[in-house]
Chain A
Amino acid sequence: MRPMTLATENPPGAAEPAARRRARGSLRGLTLLLGVAVSLLAVGWCVTVGTSGATLADVWHAVRLSVFGGVLTAEFEQTFTIITNLRLPRALLAFAAGAALSLAGVVMQGLLRNPLVSPFTLGVSPAAAFGASLAILATGGAAGSASWLVVGSALAAALAVSALVLGLASARSMSTATLLLLGIALTQLFEAMTSALQFVANENTLQAIVRWTFGSVNDATWREVQIVGAVTLLLLPVLLWFAKDLNAVAFAGDDAAKSLGVNVTALRVGLIVLAVLLASVVVSFCGVIGFVGLVGPHIARLVIGADHRFLLPFSFLTGGLLLLVADTIGRTVLAPSVIPVGIVVAFIGAPVFINLILTRRAAAR
């Protein structure tokens, strides 16, 4: 079989020079690097906000001390404690949770070919919250939010709902409107069921459940940071590996993706499980935080384009930054009271969501 080589019958000047082509690719690479730098700085800066007298240099000093060790002077001890025990885990948990939700959003949007879906709008997050509440109630509030029983229960509920929604969505090739309505119905259902649990719960349990439904990173611990961070950082390269297949499904549709050599059914099942895993891990530690999975990818797409090879890592950053900034606003704007980050993000997210609905091209249905 002779290989088909495409003749170079370009009209002179029509083809883009290879150098410029490479420049375009590296421009997006550069944007990505810039995003990483901004994210690191933002984490440092958010740690200093509200910490009396702490500077970026102090944060760096504290990080260096805890990683490499060194002499902790008496006058730095208080700042060091605040930074390493309170501020830094909180900032990192906010960033990791935002990144995870945003990644989950990108994957769901790509697979369903629909920029309006996210773990929250499909009812996955409310379902996870219900699962978690059920576990909290069953253990009489004895299990803390970070217990494996709660996490497992949240995950099971989230997987069950996503299997239902996404199964229906692909079996009936639903329109955007139908899919979102289904998500609304499930959200209502699970919120009602969570309310019912609250109704029968005693004082202690009730408090634990309510913490969930708000969605916050208050009382973040290093253990939570480790788990959410590890899951997110481990899954990012896995998702990146499937980026080109995700591109084929998202841009060309199921049929064409099959003809492009993608095993669509396996890809769909596998990636949905990963996306739901990301979303439910966050929900089980931080509660229901809406809109990040929607707004994070949207901002990323505006900056770096729709190609999932770049969109996935960039959404990781935008989602993380969004939640980090929202949490910093939440704990400063009415200081000393702290507004749960879920509430702040809804104030940012809802208008963006409405704008997205109103400005969508008619062609995209």
Chain B
Amino acid sequence: MSLEVAGVEFGYRRHSVLEGIDLTVAEGAFCALLGPNGSGKSTLTKILARILTPRTGTVRFAGRDLLRIPRREHAKTVSYVPQSSEAPFELTVREAVLLGRTPHIGLLPTARDWDVVEAAIDQLGLAELRHRHLSELSGGQAQRVLIARALAQEPRVLLLDEPTSALDLRYQIETLRIVRTITRERGVTALIAIHDLNHAAHFCDQAVLLHGGRIVADGPPAEAFDAETLGRVYGLEVRVERSGDTVDVRPAELGGAPGADRPEPLGRP
């Protein structure tokens, strides 16, 4: 039961952001959406989360078009982790995670809703903090609360919009590890908009490179990353070093190991 994005186009007035996105992500796969700022990866994530409405296109999952089912049904299948969130009111971790049950509950949460919330809190190692206020948490802890909230939705598809951008290295790795665990253990399909190519290469099963609103590369990271395409997309000469299944990308001017896949310089006379 894969996620199939077909013919998705999006734009503001005359300015086009996404031009015909076709993409398939296998069930339980962890897919990275990569590309420079303005390439459309965040926009695509927001379309899948039903925050933005595309001009045309379909997103099929489990036999339904996720863009056309009722919003509440969509929220029971797809959950979304924003880059960050600030709450203007004092809220405890439990209350924040309970928000994830919004599409499931009527007036008041049931015992099962609370069980799901507690399990999500435990899964993300927030047990000690459950009665703390959000304002007392560190950036990494706050990010984990947002992921716990998304898990409390009991999604089949998990979307993350640059969740690691504001985090230090340790929390970046931790976040990616948590998401990968979720995909492995529960068969949840995850899509993450992310900047760091090497993190994507290490943690994700699929790398999708966007440039100017189009997909320019799609496949397992080791195959999708190639020095010429990356150089063109980022406007920067890069080296791509492969060894077995792993791949390492670095700007050419930072030097590289001998024997690396060294491209002809691009866009230079």
Taking Cβ atoms with an 8 Å cutoff, the residues of A that contact B are 1-4, 6-11, 14-16, 18, 21, 113-115, 240-241, 243-245, 247-248, 250-253, 255-263, 301, 305-307, 309, 361, 363-365
Contacts and interface: CB of A to CB of B under 8 A. Distances in A.
Interface string B74-91: 111011101001111111
Interface stretch (B5-13, B17-25, B153-161, B235-243): B153-161
A301 B133 CA distance: 14
Given A7-B185, A11-B122, A14-B122, 14 more contacts: A1-B62, A4-B154, A4-B155, A6-B120, A6-B154, A7-B123, A16-B130, A252-B85, A255-B51, A258-B49, A259-B80, A260-B99, A301-B90, A364-B87
B102 interface: yes
Contacts of A16: 118, 130
Question: Which residue, of A241, A243, A245, A248, has the highest number of chain B Cβ atoms within 10 A?
Answer: A248
Contacts of B34: none
B266 interface: no
B102 A247 contact: yes
A256 B82 contact: yes
Nearest to A257: B102
A104 to B, nearest CB: 17
B156 A4 contact: yes
A113 B88 contact: yes
A241 B149 CA distance: 22
A263 B89 CA distance: 21
B123 A258 contact: no
Contacts of B102: 244-245, 247-248, 257, 260-262
Contact of B123 (A6, A21, A244): A6
A256 B72 contact: no
B88 A258 contact: no
Contacts, number: 131
Interface residues of B, number: 56
Interface string B43-86: 00010011100000000001000000001111110111010011
9 contacts: A4-B186, A8-B119, A250-B89, A251-B87, A251-B99, A252-B149, A256-B85, A261-B76, A305-B90
Contacts of B116: 6
Given A251-B99, A253-B85, A364-B88, A259 B78 contact: yes
B88 A115 contact: yes
A2 B74 CA distance: 16
B135 interface: yes
Contacts of B82: 253, 255-256
Given A14-B127, A261-B103, A251 B75 contact: no
A198 B221 CA distance: 74
A25 B108 CA distance: 10
Nearest to A7: B119
A363 B186 CA distance: 35
A240 B122 contact: no
Interface in B97-113: 99-100, 102-103, 105, 107-108, 111
B207 interface: no
A10 B122 contact: yes
Interface string B159-199: 10000000000000000000000000111100000000000
Question: Which residue, of B73, B76, B90, has the highest number of chain A Cβ atoms within 10 A?
Answer: B90
A10 B88 CA distance: 31
Contact of A244 (B62, B107, B114, B154): B107
Nearest to A245: B102
B230 interface: no
Contacts of B185: 7
B51 A259 contact: yes
B95 interface: yes
A263 B119 contact: no
Contacts of B216: none
Contacts of B49: 255, 258-259
Contacts of B33: none
Contacts of B151: 6
B100 A1 contact: no
A261 B89 contact: no
A260 B122 contact: no
B201 interface: no
B86 to A, nearest CB: 6
A4 B122 contact: no
Nearest to A308: B89
A256 B85 CA distance: 9
Nearest to A251: B87
Contacts of B86: 253, 363-365
B96 interface: yes
B123 A9 contact: yes
Nearest to B90: A306
A2 B27 CA distance: 12
B119 A309 contact: no
A364 B87 CA distance: 7
A252 B159 CA distance: 16
Nearest to A260: B102
Contact of B75 (A115, A247, A260, A365): A260
Contacts of A244: 102, 105, 107
B260 interface: no
A256 B154 CA distance: 15
B127 A261 contact: no
Nearest first, the 9 A-B pairs at minimum CB distance are: A261-B75, A6-B119, A259-B80, A261-B103, A261-B72, A14-B127, A306-B89, A259-B49, A260-B102
Contact of A18 (B74, B111, B186): B111
Contacts of B149: 252
A115 B89 CA distance: 8
Nearest to B89: A306
A262 B118 contact: no
